[in-house]
Amino acid sequence: MIKARVTVTLKNGVLDPQGKAIEHALDGLGFGGIGSVRQGKVFDVEIAGDDRAKAQADLNAMCEKLLANTVIENYSVTLT
């Protein structure tokens, strides 16, 4: 079994209204000095087998087809 973590974040320059709302909420809770907040998504995926190269290729394909909107999002895959 291969375990992987996929992290998806907005590309630089893409507006992040949810991150901005979190930033303002943190300030309202007394956490001053926050420069900016950007939100993202994390997927923990388990893949049967032990072929790490195939798992990496499959995970990249999953990101390109479903997990990330590659027009506005970046993704990274970490096999553990």
Domain spans of the chain? 2-79
> Which tokens is 16 given?
């992040």
What residues contact residue 64 under an 8 Å CB cut-off, 6+ apart? 70
Q: In whole numbers, what is the pLDDT of the chain averaged over residues?
A: 96
Q: Per CATH, which fold does 2-79 belong to?
A: Mth169; Chain: A , (3.30.1280)
At 66-80, the pLDDT tens digits run 999 999 999 999 998
At 27-43, the pLDDT tens digits run 999 998 998 999 999 99
